[in-house]
Structure 1
Amino acid sequence: MKNQTQDTYRFQVNLSGMINILSNHLYSSPKVFLRELLQNGVDAITARQAYSQGGYDGRIHVEVSETSTGATLLVEDNGIGLDESEIHEFLAMIGQSSKRGEDFLQTNTSFIGRFGIGLLSCFMVSDDIVMVTQSAKGGPALEWRGKPDGTYTIRKLEGIHAPGTKVFLRCKEGSEPYFKEGNLQEWLFHYGALLPYPIQLVSNQTTRLINPPSPPWVKDPQLARKHRSEVLAFGKQVLGETFRDFIPLHTSSGRTGGIAFILPQAVNLGAKRNHRVYLKHMLVSEAADNVLPDWAFFVKCMIWTDELQPTASREHFYENVQLEQVREELGSTIRQELMRMAEYDPDRLQSIISLHALSMKALAVEDSSFYSIIHEWLPFESTFGTKPLGELKQQSPLYFTATLDEYRQITHVASAQSMLVVNGGYIYDAELLSLLPLIDPDVQTERLLPEEVSLSFTDITPQERLDYYESVRLADSVLQKFRCQVQLRRFKPEEIPVLYTLSHESAQWRVMEATKEVSTDALSSVLGSLGATLKDAAYATLYFNLNNPVIERAFHPAHKAMLPSIIEMLYCNALMMGHYPMNRQETALLNKGIIQFIDWGMTASHTTGGDE
């Protein structure tokens, strides 16, 4: 059999297409070209420090100027520089690494060398990139010129040049904002605020130092407690918010640290978590949402690390084992600091809890030891007002409802009878109340159902039962279509004429009926089948309060003809008092009742001559 031959081909890269990908898909904004140039400079300085073995101070110089052909930007570092072979290897081969070694992907966190795309990002704002570089290892200075069509030239320069690299960019049309002095000053600080090397910006013969020397608490975040005002001022400068408190962050390895600034206002559970993360002191992400546990949404952080692995855009981090460990350790740092406050600075903890109770409850659900230490400060809504749990637990058993609807059904009646009931309907509350006996054995908690509150109602007398028998039977028949039964009782407060309570089955049935109204025919059919299994047991109860003058008058035999309409209106009133959403049938009933009472009023007025 004749051997078949096969040809081998090499991939061709369309550089202009690659630049479009960088600009529109990989990077969040063209301004990241500054970050890439700063990172190149930092990498070069770091390499020269290792090569020089001391006696060398790195720096980065940025200069913007206007010329007859437009704005020009110079970014210069005094790092290690490149020789010609390195230029070909690292600038012409996209994806080539400037850091060699089999363990590179596992240990190195700089994408510039890994993907060779850092300098290419400059094509987003310039059609001409000129780089002049002198290797600290010797050899001639070189000028590299790159074009967006994928071509480049290299020429040797005469004379003596200091080691380092200069990158010149000429502004292309439409990119003028990226060459404005004010924007450059803001963005250089944005990306390089924590860099350990000075960044100078020169414009119109004015020199500005962009980044002050790194404060000592950057190396050791636990020192931040001794520099409170400085840390808070730095947080305002970098994050743009005024903070009143913070928690230092650190990991056991010492490779990740930071400051968790406590937000000065309450935030909800769905709030977007935007933390700033610096990789090797360079800002990588200003919207990192996966570096802290979900419960820590009451802080806004500055985090610096050299151990997390960024994505190709260097604006987010890979979700891997290393990130999971860092997230757990940072969360543990916050938890331990809060527990320390509980012991040594309770007023400070109480101030935080008063603003961020939801976060504290979220953490307490996860960590019983944390719950046991801070539970007394956690606020809960109750029929006695919003109180800390330490005060509420003095009542035993401590009654609570499991849902907001249940609480709304009983709150007025329970309050009138001086009965303490805690609203467990908000997220985490019922779960925490159920767990309370586990952390404090002296406390008993018990879920309270609306029908159990009705047990404290005063029953009517046998004579009243006889007198109102026909009226109650009529009321029962009127509300049958709403799967609601009627009970006549006496209870406090007298101001409440009716109280609507739902059993578990009737609550489910009501939800299904409401869903059917807005569902497709197919889904309505399925819900109808499910609802059929509940229908026999799905009865609500409407309690009429004979202590209320409206009820006493409505059930008077003289008003028997009007009683059905009165019952329907009181039913709608009970739904609104209990904050129950009304379905279409109930809304129509309310409208019909209002019109009917208006008609009765007008008829009575004409009969008595009231309009004259």
Structure 2
Amino acid sequence: MTEHRTEHRFQVDLRGVVDLLSHHLYASPRVYVRELLQNAADAITARHGTDPDAPAGRVVIEPLPGGALRISDNGIGLTQDEVHTFLASVGRTSKRDDLGFARQDLLGQFGIGLLSCFMVADAIEVVSRSAKGGPAVRWSGFADGRYTVDEGDGAEVGTTVTLRPRPGAEHWLSPAAVRDLASSYAHLLSVDVTVDQVRVTEPQAPWEAAYDDPEQRRAALLDYGARVLGSRPMEVIDLSVPEAGLRGVGFVLASPTAVGQGGHRVYLKRMLLNEDTNKLVPEWAFFVRCVVDTSMLRPTASREALYEDDLLSSVRDALGEQIRDWLLDLSVNHPERLSRFLRVHHLGVKALAVRDDEMLRLVDAWLPFETSHGAMPLRTFRQSRSMIRYVETVDEFRALAAIASAAGTPIVNAGFAYDTQILERLSRVDPQARVRRLDSGELAAKLEPLSPGQQETVAPFLELARAVLRELDCVPLIRQFDPVTVPALYLVSQQARTQDTVRRSIDSADELWSDVLSAFDDVTVEHRPELVLNWRHPLIRKLASYPPGPALRHAVEALYGQALLAGHHPLRAVDTAALNRSFLALLDRAFPTENL
């Protein structure tokens, strides 16, 4: 049995296509100017590909009375058959090779580009005369899907497109808007583009201009960066990736910025692709804004972003390497400029140092870290020390810096982003570097103990303090340390911290998990936080000679609470209760009722 099939053709709803373009493909109707310029530039390129002696390319944009717009080029033009092929069919590309429109050095897609104009126009007229000969052809298209083709007027080879605005879109065709859009999209094109008799293209890209003095070139590029970014950048970096046909510059911002903010200005074959392109450089290089032109990277369907592929990934790595090399060159040849850069963008450099040994060497030698002996690079800090000890939080550093330094154990503040990772990686660039996190228990052991006679004197006071602090899960110590302005210091060893974490987990877990976690609770050795009382402080010596009683108990509780607050330690409910109780009791003793 023979099966009979009937072929049908898709029916294309032009209004639906325009809606698709405006709401899902293009970010804004403004791209119609880019599409027209791309078509004109491609036509000029195609003509010169078949006739090297053709006149120099030019594109003329003219606002017309009544709000219409006309754009003319002296490109290859279209025959009547080609008009039907390109202007009346969506997606047909079979004859692009015949015209030279499928070549790698062209920018756009002729048919789709013209359809984008329906986002701002209700009627489009195209008059074109082909370089192959024959009369001019006029194509008139309307937003409702109709079009007509007849013989047109045109003595010169090329194409003229006239747009008549649709209601509500007149502002997109205004002279000021068109001039701004054409200047933005086309100012690097090699063809001559004029808008209302004013040239908007530049003879060459700013980074291509030749200067006798490198500093003069640097100053000119920084001026260009100020125009592009809106503020003058700190530095400029030359960028080049030949395999992607990419050249341009990277501008180092003069003020801090967050990761992921802002993008890069990318030109594709000298036509602006996007002013806010992301993922062009590695994430750590967020302090750089690039302006580049590429001939090989692929655009997305909307030609408003770069297509993520292996080539873009390779370009990203190459640009990251060039930014990294620039930083290393500054460290050798321009240390004063490097110091200025690090003051602003230390975060990006540290982010790179945690994965790159060369940048780690730069950070080690140049980036100041906060230490208990002042701000200095890590290489300077460890010159006279066999061990680098650090603390992981800013609060811990502020509480311990002066005491640790006086005890002969200077420390580094690793409480900022990437600091801990950088310190732990130092052995990769200096095998002699030894790094360890400061254990509070280790610091307590370095504080000067009391003499036997002093210990005998403070024994009663220490016994009372032990009884008071037992209820707060803490043990007292009396030591002598500087600065003398610190009466008490709350220290938690790593063992005590671990044991406390396990016990908190046991208390909050259900019965099953509580039993499992109990196996990790080492009850053979009790590790508790320590309240270290400073014998050199006059208040501690005074309290040690005070007779036992409620007042002394409240004083110990007050010292405990003050040490917690000074060290920015979290307060439990029992801690807050002790602090409030001691505060109110001491106030009551200071203002007895009988004196009222």
TM-score (norm 2): 0.87
CA 1:600–1:56: 2 relative to 1, 3 Å: farther
**Any idea what the Cα deviations from partners look like across 1:517-555, whole Å, max 9, x if unmatched?**
9xxx9x999997887666657743333333334444556
The one-letter amino acid of 1:162's match is E
Contact in 1 for aligned 2:554/2:581 (Cα 8 Å): no
Instruction: Give the stretch that moved more between structures: 491-500 or 531-540.
Output: 531-540
Contact in 2 for aligned 1:111/1:314 (Cα 8 Å): no
Q: Secondary structure at the match of 2:302?
A: coil
Equivalences for 1:87-126 in 2 at 5 Å? 87-97=83-93, 100=96, 108=104, 112-113=108-109, 116-126=111-121
CA 1:300–1:459: 2 relative to 1, 3 Å: same
The one-letter amino acid of 1:120's match is L
| Residue of structure 1 in register with 2:466 after alignment | 473
Contact in 2 for aligned 1:111/1:312 (Cα 8 Å): no
The one-letter amino acid of 2:178's match is L
| Residue of structure 2 in register with 1:352 after alignment | 341
- Residue 286 of structure 1, aligned match among 267, 275, 278: 275
Contact in 1 for aligned 2:461/2:548 (Cα 8 Å): no
Instruction: Give the stretch that moved more between structures: 341-350 or 30-39.
Output: 341-350
Counterpart Cα distance in 1 of 2:276 and 2:565: 43
CA 1:55–1:136: 2 relative to 1, 3 Å: closer
Counterpart Cα distance in 2 of 1:238 and 1:263: 12
The one-letter amino acid of 1:181's match is P
| Residue of structure 1 in register with 2:72 after alignment | 76
| Residue of structure 2 in register with 1:607 after alignment | 594
- Residue 456 of structure 2, aligned match among 455, 458, 463: 463
The one-letter amino acid of 2:198's match is R
Counterpart Cα distance in 2 of 1:192 and 1:199: 8
- Residue 151 of structure 1, aligned match among 138, 141, 146: 146
Contact in 2 for aligned 1:221/1:258 (Cα 8 Å): no
CA 1:475–1:459: 2 relative to 1, 3 Å: farther
CA 1:554–1:188: 2 relative to 1, 3 Å: farther
The one-letter amino acid of 2:88's match is A
The one-letter amino acid of 1:155's match is D
2:178 pairs with 1:184: yes
- Residue 166 of structure 1, aligned match among 150, 160, 163: 160
| Residue of structure 1 in register with 2:129 after alignment | 134
Measure how far apart 1:35 and its partner are.
1.5
The one-letter amino acid of 1:118's match is G
Contact in 1 for aligned 2:125/2:162 (Cα 8 Å): yes
The one-letter amino acid of 1:426's match is F
Measure how far apart 1:306 and its partner are.
0.8
Counterpart Cα distance in 1 of 2:150 and 2:68: 21
Counterpart Cα distance in 1 of 2:586 and 2:479: 26
Contact in 2 for aligned 1:251/1:329 (Cα 8 Å): yes
Contact in 2 for aligned 1:339/1:374 (Cα 8 Å): no
Measure how far apart 1:290 and its partner are.
0.8
- Residue 210 of structure 1, aligned match among 200, 204, 227: 200
CA 1:5–1:132: 2 relative to 1, 3 Å: same
2:419 pairs with 1:423: no
**Any idea what the Cα deviations from partners look like across 1:198-231, whole Å, max 9, x if unmatched?**
22111xxxx3222221147338999976622221
CA 1:368–1:557: 2 relative to 1, 3 Å: same
**Any idea what the Cα deviations from partners look like across 1:360-385, whole Å, max 9, x if unmatched?**
22222322134335631122111122
Equivalences for 1:338-377 in 2 at 5 Å? 338-373=327-362, 375-377=364-366
Q: Secondary structure at the match of 2:284?
A: coil
The one-letter amino acid of 1:80's match is I
Equivalences for 1:322-337 in 2 at 5 Å? 322-337=311-326
Measure how far apart 1:593 and its partner are.
5.5
| Residue of structure 2 in register with 1:33 after alignment | 32
- Residue 494 of structure 1, aligned match among 484, 491, 495: 484
Counterpart Cα distance in 1 of 2:163 and 2:157: 20
**Any idea what the Cα deviations from partners look like across 1:416-445, whole Å, max 9, x if unmatched?**
446431122322222222333332345444
| Residue of structure 1 in register with 2:245 after alignment | 255
Instruction: Give the stretch that moved more between structures: 321-330 or 399-408.
Output: 399-408
Q: Which ranges in structure 2 are unaligned for 5 or more consecutive residues?
A: none
Counterpart Cα distance in 1 of 2:432 and 2:180: 58
Contact in 2 for aligned 1:127/1:147 (Cα 8 Å): yes
The one-letter amino acid of 1:33's match is Y
Percentage of matched positions with identical amino acids = 34
Q: Which ranges in structure 1 are unaligned for 5 or more consecutive residues?
A: none
Counterpart Cα distance in 2 of 1:473 and 1:449: 23
Aligned residues: 587
Q: Secondary structure at the match of 1:325?
A: helix
CA 1:218–1:371: 2 relative to 1, 3 Å: same
CA 1:21–1:399: 2 relative to 1, 3 Å: same
Counterpart Cα distance in 1 of 2:296 and 2:531: 63
Contact in 1 for aligned 2:299/2:307 (Cα 8 Å): yes
Q: Secondary structure at the match of 2:184?
A: helix
Equivalences for 1:382-461 in 2 at 5 Å? 382-401=371-390, 403-404=392-393, 406-417=396-407, 419-441=409-431, 443-460=433-450, 461=452
The one-letter amino acid of 1:337's match is W
| Residue of structure 1 in register with 2:13 after alignment | 14
Counterpart Cα distance in 2 of 1:511 and 1:149: 71
Contact in 1 for aligned 2:287/2:345 (Cα 8 Å): yes
Contact in 2 for aligned 1:221/1:249 (Cα 8 Å): no
Q: Secondary structure at the match of 1:57?
A: coil
Measure how far apart 1:183 and its partner are.
3.0
Q: Secondary structure at the match of 2:374?
A: coil
Counterpart Cα distance in 1 of 2:486 and 2:400: 11
Contact in 2 for aligned 1:279/1:305 (Cα 8 Å): yes
The one-letter amino acid of 2:17's match is M
Contact in 2 for aligned 1:90/1:113 (Cα 8 Å): no
Contact in 1 for aligned 2:327/2:338 (Cα 8 Å): yes
Counterpart Cα distance in 1 of 2:104 and 2:379: 50
TM-score (norm 1): 0.85
CA 1:542–1:526: 2 relative to 1, 3 Å: farther
| Residue of structure 1 in register with 2:45 after alignment | 46
Contact in 2 for aligned 1:16/1:148 (Cα 8 Å): yes
Counterpart Cα distance in 1 of 2:574 and 2:59: 73
CA 1:315–1:583: 2 relative to 1, 3 Å: farther
Contact in 2 for aligned 1:499/1:543 (Cα 8 Å): yes
Contact in 2 for aligned 1:132/1:165 (Cα 8 Å): yes
Q: Secondary structure at the match of 2:68?
A: strand
Contact in 1 for aligned 2:502/2:521 (Cα 8 Å): no
Instruction: Give the stretch that moved more between structures: 191-200 or 587-596.
Output: 587-596
The one-letter amino acid of 2:325's match is Q
Alignment RMSD (CA, Å): 3.6
The one-letter amino acid of 2:109's match is G
Q: Secondary structure at the match of 1:340?
A: helix
Counterpart Cα distance in 2 of 1:367 and 1:473: 51
Contact in 2 for aligned 1:249/1:257 (Cα 8 Å): yes
CA 1:77–1:375: 2 relative to 1, 3 Å: farther
Q: Secondary structure at the match of 1:243?
A: coil
2:305 pairs with 1:311: no
Contact in 2 for aligned 1:478/1:568 (Cα 8 Å): no
The one-letter amino acid of 2:44's match is I
**Any idea what the Cα deviations from partners look like across 1:15-64, whole Å, max 9, x if unmatched?**
32332232233222221211222211211121112122134211222222
Measure how far apart 1:514 and its partner are.
9.9
